[in-house]
Amino acid sequence: MLDGYWHFHCPECGMGDFELGHLADDQEFVCQVCLEEGRGTIHLQRWPGQSDDAPDYARFRPGLAA
C-alpha cells in the first residue's frame, strides 16, 4: 500500500495516534517514543485509517490536525 495512513498504538508505552495527534504512514512500524526513551524497538499495532482522520480535539485546533 502506498501513501496509506494507519491508526496506531504502542503496546509498551501506550502512546498512539490519539495522544500524538497524527496517523502513521506506511513506513512507520516502530514506536518513536520508546526509541527516544531507550526502551528499544517496539513494533506498533496498526490498523487502516484515512488521511483526514484526526482526533476530535485536533479538528478544533488547526495546529494539531493531521
Alpha-carbon span 29 to 15, nearest angstrom: 13
Nearest CA-CA partner of 51 in 1, 5, 2, 3: 5
The domain locations on the chain are 5-64
Task: Report whether pLDDT(50) > 70.
Answer: no
Local structure of residue 3 (DSSP, 8 states): S
Predicted TM-score (pTM) of this structure: 0.68
Mean pLDDT confidence for 4-26: 90
Alpha-carbon span 30 to 13, nearest angstrom: 12
Nearest CA-CA partner of 25 in 57, 56, 48, 9: 48
pLDDT band (50, 70, 90) for residue 58: low
Q: Which helix or strand (DSSP H or E) is residue 49 part of?
A: strand 45-49
Reported as a single tens digit per residue, the pLDDT across 18-37 is 899 888 988 999 999 999 99
